[in-house]
Chain A
Amino acid sequence: MNEQVSGERFVPKGAIAFFVALAVLYAMLWFAMYAELLGRR
């Protein structure tokens, strides 16, 4: 293991929050389109 870690260990909490928000946004948009599909039956 050749990790270049300087000082305090960096944990990307902001990136995790961003990724969760992205997943929620994607789920909302996908289900909105799914509702559009169902509305055309």
Chain B
Amino acid sequence: MNGTLRLPVEPWARRLVLTEIIVPVVLLVLGIYAGLLQVLFRAGVIQAAEFAGWEYYQALTLHGVVNAVVFTTFFAVAFGNALVPYALGMKLPLRWAWVSGVTMLAGTLMAAWAILAGKASVLYTFYPPLMAHPLFYIGAALLIVGSWIAFFNWIPLYLRWRREHPGEKTPLAVVGMFATFIVWLIATLAVAIEVVVLLIPWSLGWTQEVNVPLARMLFWFFGHPLVYFWLLPAYTMYYTMLPRLAGGKLYSDKVGRLAFMLLILFSIPVGAHHQYTEPVVSSGSKLLHAFLTFAVALPSLMTAFTLAASLEYGARQRGARGLFDWMFKQPFFSTDAWLFSYMIAGLVIFIMGGISGIVNASYSMNLVVHNTSWIPGHFHLTVAGPVLLAFLGMSLHLVSTYAGKELRLKRLAVAVPYLWLVGVFVFSWGMMRGGLHGEPRRSNLGMSYLNPDSPFYHPEWKLYVTVAMIGGIVMTLAMIAYFVVFFATALSRRQREAAAEFPLSEAYHDEPAGALMNLRPWLIAAVVLIAIAYTPMVRDVVRGTFNNAPGYEPHNPAPVNQSEQLEESPSP
């Protein structure tokens, strides 16, 4: 990172960012272990409902909640707390930043207790009528509220910067982080309504039944934009840091700004593409959301071209010739630009994640893959591809710079993303091919379809689950290597003053921003589009739901309240 601007960091800002990075990485150890258990359960290596005290659905819930929600939310907040003040050249207001961090931590501990105690095996989608302990929902709500506080804490900095720099473009890194949290804020309003109005009163026994289609619609209002909440910090790194790491410049600053604004516009009104098989949603709503989902692919395709051009520019400065030589003249294994390996490996994985997502979004084609193992095969190519690798790389960068320590074991650090790339491709091939042959997702196959003693034995899937298991083991090895590098760095002796330091890129085309100067019109357009896409869907759900549902637990076919009555009634 030679030549990057180093800004001193206050001790309490340093402690906050390090806490917000180290806590979720510690939890990620559990999340990765739970992921390994999944492939062992599914491949039939474990032919039981539980292993070493961890039940299948409990482990699946922990894997999803910790990896996809807790780790990502903590990371996005920590990254923003470091990057936004750095890019604006200001100090982070500490009081509310700490209120945010403590709120998120309290919520995480509540939800983690509920899951580890086996009282919240409801998976990361927490679909009713599966019911969790109230602390799971309250903890999730606190995690979200804490992340809102972090965002609200950056807004006065941004407004002050704009007052002090009239007519100047907001730094692209700040635009990226604000796009991330605008999408997050709008999307989480729906899930907050679901949790606070529907699920918490229901789990506390204040209401007996819940409107399942309404809860699912509110979840997917949040659930798909969640993907962009994951991707946007990675895009921020790609646009603002990757070109510099590759020795080049960002090809177009304006395209970066346009991609962020389009993601604000199109990220949210797309939830129905997760609900194509739900009869309560009209086909008109589904078709509209399908078109909007294709629209949200546009900023990703723009990003693919712009990043390729940026990488090509850097490689041409180093003598690359011809049409494709630039692809191979990149610092893939450089220990000086080690962060590059995390970003480029993520982008390669995302090529397959992108097309499999377009398949999922295609209205009738979705029926080929719906609820099969294709779906987790796909989303491991997105959230466990560009997102995870960008976050892992940046977590190493933050723990190194904010703790004032040199990254340890750099060669191993560079190997991690490539080992992960191999693992996730093998894993996803197994899952997606199996899915095309009807292999279900969210199922303990070792208890049934992959158990030769079961009447449901389905030997055709044996190859696919075995391949997925091998991929899962390679992914676990990559993560073990990452944890070794992370904790070796975190626990090493401090070598210099802690400082904020990011390798921000210059732009080759540094165009005027024009209509992209101001977030407000894009935000208003997004709200209008959401109203157009969701008003008919709300009407569908309200008109089409005739019965609400009582709560259930995964292992019991009787509703929770009836099970409690049976346990309390005296034996005949």
Residues of A within 8 A of B (CB): 1-5, 10, 12-19, 22, 25-26, 29-30, 33-34, 36-37, 40
Contact = CB atoms under 8 A, between A and B. Distances in A.
Contact of B506 (A4, A16, A25): A4
B507 to A, nearest CB: 7
30 contacts: A1-B511, A2-B511, A3-B508, A3-B509, A5-B508, A10-B313, A10-B508, A12-B312, A12-B313, A14-B308, A14-B312, A14-B320, A14-B324, A14-B326, A15-B309, A15-B312, A17-B323, A18-B305, A18-B308, A18-B324, A18-B327, A19-B301, A26-B354, A29-B359, A30-B358, A30-B362, A33-B362, A37-B365, A37-B368, A40-B368
B511 A36 contact: no
Contact of B324 (A1, A4, A17): A17
B566 interface: no
B8 interface: no
Nearest to B324: A14
B312 A2 contact: no
B209 to A, nearest CB: 37
A19 B304 contact: yes
Contact of B316 (A4, A10, A18): A10
B197 interface: no
Given A17-B324, A18-B308, A36 B368 contact: yes
A23 B312 CA distance: 18
Contacts, number: 76
A34 B365 contact: yes
Interface of B: 249, 251, 301, 304-305, 308-309, 311-313, 316, 320, 322-327, 351, 354-355, 358-359, 362, 364-365, 367-368, 436, 506-512
B323 A13 contact: yes
A26 B301 CA distance: 11
Contact of A4 (B301, B305, B510): B510
A14 B313 CA distance: 9
A34 B365 CA distance: 7
> Would you call the interface of chain A mostly helix, strand, loop, or mixed?
helix
Contacts of A18: 305, 308, 324, 327
Interface centre among A1, A30, A33 (most CB of B within 10 A): A33
A17 B304 CA distance: 12
A2 B510 contact: yes
A33 B364 CA distance: 11
Nearest to A4: B510
Given A3-B510, A4-B509, A40-B368, 7 more contacts: A1-B512, A10-B313, A13-B323, A14-B326, A18-B327, A30-B359, A34-B365
B364 A37 contact: yes
Contacts of A4: 249, 506-510
Nearest to A22: B304
A37 B142 CA distance: 43
Contacts of B508: 3-5, 10
Given A3-B510, A12-B312, A33 B326 contact: no
A14 B354 CA distance: 21
B296 to A, nearest CB: 15
A34 B355 CA distance: 13
Contacts of A29: 355, 359
Contacts of A25: 351, 355
A22 to B, nearest CB: 6
Nearest to A36: B368
A19 B308 CA distance: 8
Contacts of B355: 25-26, 29-30
Nearest to B374: A33
Interface centre among B251, B312, B362 (most CB of A within 10 A): B312
